[in-house]
Structure 1
Amino acid sequence: MVVVVLYAVSAEGKDIRRALWERTSFSDKTHIGYINSNKVVCIETQMGKVNAACESALAIKEYAPDVVISTGIGGAYPDTDLNVGDVAVATCEIYGDEGVLLKDGFLDTFQMGIPLLKRGKKLFFNEFDMDTSITQRAYKIISDGLTGHVVKKGNFLTVSSCTGDSERAVMLKNKHSVICENMEGAAVAHVCAKLGVPVVEIRGVSNIVSDRDKERWDMALAVKNCSLAVILLLKSLNTQR
């Protein structure tokens, strides 16, 4: 099996890269190796939706993966039972910015009547589902293997501007029924849907989405637990291509 693992910045993938055997570095951003018999391609995309989409498309074309894993840190929305260091697994990725902002509120692309993707007869608007079977496997394996921290699955929201305001955080959580905020996931899911590749997303909680206060963040713990979660999943995947 070939697995592409995508993360925005190098630090988010360092523990995963260290877990690879027979690792080869093709650049400072691409590392290839094995976990069990699975070929794992680790790629740093850099921050944001455009970078994530470009690197996702290039990686799928180059390596023809059986599955794509989108990973890194993220912010948990308030009152979701997630705390710093916990792990969130996406069931669906939602674009938070694509649409039109009116005086009386925001309309997403479904409300506008303009899909972001047409694939066969299926229309995709702001929402892109994760692969159900791999997501279920990831959730179970991570829940069983990650002790001392909560593992929760739910919808994720991808934004162009991180939320640093508590009132907006509550509004976004309630409007979209989401548990986690990030800046890349929906773009990765979008490309995978377009190209027909299964995708799963796993994030470590570095902070609670609220008034911005980085002294209350713990990015190192989020990276550590998220990386462990991804490695647990990689070890469990079918080794037959």
Structure 2
Amino acid sequence: MKYTVLLFLFLSQTAFSQQYKSRPITGLLGAFGAEVELVKQTLKNPKTVVVDGVTFTTGRLGKQKVVVAETGIGKVNAAMTTALLLDHFRPERVLFTGIAGGTNPELQPGDIVIAGRTAHHDYGSITDKNTPTRQTRNVITKQFNPVYFPADTSLMRLAEKVVKDIPLEGIPLASGGVSDRPVKVVTGTVVTGDVFVASPIKVSSLRADFGADATEMEGAAIAQVCYQINVPHLIIRSLSDRADAEAHIAFDKFYPTAARNSAKLVIAIVQAL
């Protein structure tokens, strides 16, 4: 019986993956207009395509054909835009650029987290009658997804390689200068929820429960959609704040630097494909 179930799941997933016929194009997503604009400015021969009200921009980045879109903030918007992207353009891979709140005490605004894995931090059972779980359920196989959605290994390794040669921006200081501390880049865990975290208590919880390095509002939704359809993906996040009580102040101050650092890495990844 065990092997019959495993065979069924394998055949179901294989059959669906065969339905998804990718095209030679890379999908690039960002939550905010400013994040997306940084990528769009690098495109050659940009053209606008509107799909069910969502604006996509196609063009070339280096030797690669790409399609760029703003997902909007939050998991539902991110999932919707990703689904439209996959259905209409059929990209070979999906990359996300954006900012996040830092939950790793060794990181500061401007630093980058290459998401080796992502998870929903606001999903799970909250009643005593059910077995607690943080696992979403795959609508295709009807089985539980993993708690952590793994990034595509090839894209992750490529990001780790190319980031070494990118001139990332240091952190602006109150005096108007720039921090001498080099930008730190880690491959780690990014957690997603429909909430802007600005609480040291919540930061400690996310760190303890998930081993989170950063928290944001879109990544795991994009990762789940890609995972369920077997499309390679990678989430890149640059920190705009530490997700603490001062997060709103830090966000306003460091957002431009963080957005540029994340966009630079995503652009470099595409150019290196």
Superposition TM-score, scaled by structure 2 size: 0.78
What CA distance in whole angstroms lies between the structure 2 residues aligned with 1:213 and 1:199? 28
Moved more, 141-150 or 205-214: 141-150
| CA drift at 1:209 | 1.5
Give the 3 Å change call, closer, same or farther, for CA 121–51 of structure 1 in structure 2: closer
1:230 aligns with 2:256: no
Task: Encode CA deviations 1:17-73: one digit per residue, 9 max, x unaligned.
Answer: 001111112358321110122111001111111111111111011111111002211
Secondary structure, aligned partner of 1:71: strand
1:94 aligns with 2:119: yes
Q: Specify which of 4, 25, 29 is matched with residue 55 of structure 2.
A: 29
What CA distance in whole angstroms lies between the structure 1 residues aligned with 2:203 and 2:109? 16
Could you list the runs of 5+ residues in structure 2 that have no partner in the other structure? 1-23, 169-181
| CA drift at 1:236 | 0.3
Judge conservation of contact 1:88–1:154 (CA < 8 Å) in 2. Answer: yes
Judge conservation of contact 2:104–2:212 (CA < 8 Å) in 1. Answer: no
Which residue type is aligned with residue 8 of structure 1?
Answer: A
- 2:83 aligns with 57
Which residue type is aligned with residue 45 of structure 1?
Answer: T
| CA drift at 1:121 | 10
Secondary structure, aligned partner of 2:237: strand
Judge conservation of contact 1:146–1:229 (CA < 8 Å) in 2. Answer: no
1:4 aligns with 2:27: yes
Secondary structure, aligned partner of 2:73: coil
What CA distance in whole angstroms lies between the structure 1 residues aligned with 2:217 and 2:142? 28
Which residue type is aligned with residue 135 of structure 1?
Answer: M
**Count of equivalent residues:** 230
More strand by proportion, 1 or 2? 1
Which residue type is aligned with residue 244 of structure 2?
Answer: S
Judge conservation of contact 1:128–1:189 (CA < 8 Å) in 2. Answer: yes
Which residue type is aligned with residue 205 of structure 1?
Answer: L
Task: Encode CA deviations 1:214-235: one digit per residue, 9 max, x unaligned.
Answer: 2223100001111111111110
Task: Encode CA deviations 1:154-181: one digit per residue, 9 max, x unaligned.
Answer: 0110011121111111111111011011
Superposed, which structure 2 residues align to 1:12-27 within 5 Å? 12-27=35-50
Superposition TM-score, scaled by structure 1 size: 0.88
Identical aligned pairs, as a percentage?
A: 27
1:117 aligns with 2:138: yes
C-alpha RMSD of matched pairs (Å)? 2.1
Could you list the runs of 5+ residues in structure 1 that have no partner in the other structure? none
Which residue type is aligned with residue 192 of structure 1?
Answer: C
Larger Rg: 2
Judge conservation of contact 2:44–2:59 (CA < 8 Å) in 1. Answer: yes
Judge conservation of contact 2:103–2:243 (CA < 8 Å) in 1. Answer: yes
